[in-house]
A and B are shown apart, each in its own frame.
Chain A
């Protein structure tokens, strides 16, 4: 009996990473800005995205969305009300989206005809951080009702984000939201992160967010 060490030195999620790289190449070639939106349940991600899609369309931009949930197509139906093309991805128990799911749900879509593609991830602040979906921008969302220390509790995800969106700012005062503490915890985990303070209900902060999107899209 002899023993032998077989060296592999490869990423465990190599298959996902390779697929994500392929997708990123396709997105770049098509000139579409792809954003991966990540948050915990109840952040108001769908409401925020609905308003974003609606306003982008009003400005003449072409935007589409993929929505991940364990079950139901409720979110896809809500988002489709904006007039944008939307597809639902049901993961049936899987706690995150993977590059393969994204690739499969893009079939038949002409990417070159889009300016923006939003991927609304499964509501979870842990697992989605490990899975590259080929996005250019990862956006972490947190609402004013969630606690200002959310980024400190979930550093792996917030550290991987390129931008952060604080939602439901219209009720910040009523729920005693400590804005300075929230900004401080975001900056501790991801120094220099761009933060947007928004309300999908009143439209506060949306102008700044949309301007940033347009700027990011034009730099593609």
Chain B
């Protein structure tokens, strides 16, 4: 259950970047989470509501895209997607996987903000 500390890191990072956009309201935050990232998406969403309370992110949506497991099959020199988390071998030729290309991601992709024209004008002035 380290989802709350992960979500808190996200809030912290977004708030730091938000300093460049004074007065902006955060609408959405997008994450990319690998299938092997040890993170439960439902828990992230649950913790999001708690972590954004009384912050400039309050009311924003969390959108999580799951990244499937992809290994580099050394035998066939190809990237292949693994099904499930129970066998780390190429589903086509059974080659053991030592090179995981995707699946461990735990990234903030972007966030969406709404800026009022007045604030933007204020920044320019």
Interface on A for B, CB 8 Å cutoff? 1-15, 94-96, 126-127, 129-130, 152, 155-157, 159, 188-192
Q: Which residues of B contact A130 (CB under 8 A)?
A: 2, 6, 37-39, 106
Q: Which residues of B contact A189 (CB under 8 A)?
A: 85-86, 88
Answer whether A192 and B96 are a contact pair too, CB < 8 Å, given A1-B116, A13-B9: yes
Q: Which residues of B contact A152 (CB under 8 A)?
A: 86
Chain A nearest CB from B1 CB (Å) reads 6
Whole-angstrom distance between the alpha carbons of A3 and B120 in the complex? 12
Chain B nearest CB from A120 CB (Å) reads 18
Is B52 interfacial (CB-CB < 8 Å)?
A: no
On whether the beta carbons of A8 and B114 are closer than 8 Å, the reply is: no
Whole-angstrom distance between the alpha carbons of A156 and B1 in the complex? 14
Q: Which residues of B contact A9 (CB under 8 A)?
A: 107-110
User: Which residue of B has the minimal Cβ distance to A125?
Assistant: B38
Q: Which residues of A contact B85 (CB under 8 A)?
A: 155-156, 159, 189
Chain B nearest CB from A204 CB (Å) reads 28
- Known pairs A5-B110, A15-B9 / 4 extra A-B pairs, C-beta < 8 Å: A4-B24, A5-B112, A6-B17, A12-B106
Closest 7 CB pairs of A and B: A191-B96, A127-B2, A155-B85, A156-B38, A8-B108, A7-B110, A129-B38
Question: What mask results when residues 85 to 100 of chain B are scored 1 for a CB within 8 Å of chain A, else 0?
Answer: 1111100000011101
> What number of B residues sit within 8 Å (CB to CB) of A?
39
On whether the beta carbons of A191 and B38 are closer than 8 Å, the reply is: no
On whether the beta carbons of B38 and A12 are closer than 8 Å, the reply is: no
Chain B nearest CB from A218 CB (Å) reads 23
On whether the beta carbons of A12 and B111 are closer than 8 Å, the reply is: no
Answer whether A11 and B106 are a contact pair too, CB < 8 Å, given A156-B85, A159-B88: yes
Answer whether A127 and B1 are a contact pair too, CB < 8 Å, given A8-B13, A155-B85: yes
Instruction: Name, among A4, A7, A96, the residue most crowded by chain B CB atoms within 10 Å (CB to CB).
Output: A4
Q: Which residues of A contact B108 (CB under 8 A)?
A: 8-12
On whether the beta carbons of B98 and A192 are closer than 8 Å, the reply is: yes
Q: Which residues of A contact B17 (CB under 8 A)?
A: 6, 8
Q: Which residues of B contact A6 (CB under 8 A)?
A: 17, 21, 110-113
Q: Which residues of B contact A156 (CB under 8 A)?
A: 36-38, 85
Across the interface, B109 reaches (CB within 8 A) one of A1, A7, A129, namely: A7
Chain B nearest CB from A160 CB (Å) reads 8
Q: Which residues of B contact A192 (CB under 8 A)?
A: 96, 98
Across the interface, B86 reaches (CB within 8 A) one of A2, A4, A7, A188, namely: A188
**CB within 8 Å of A: which B37-76 residues:** 37-39
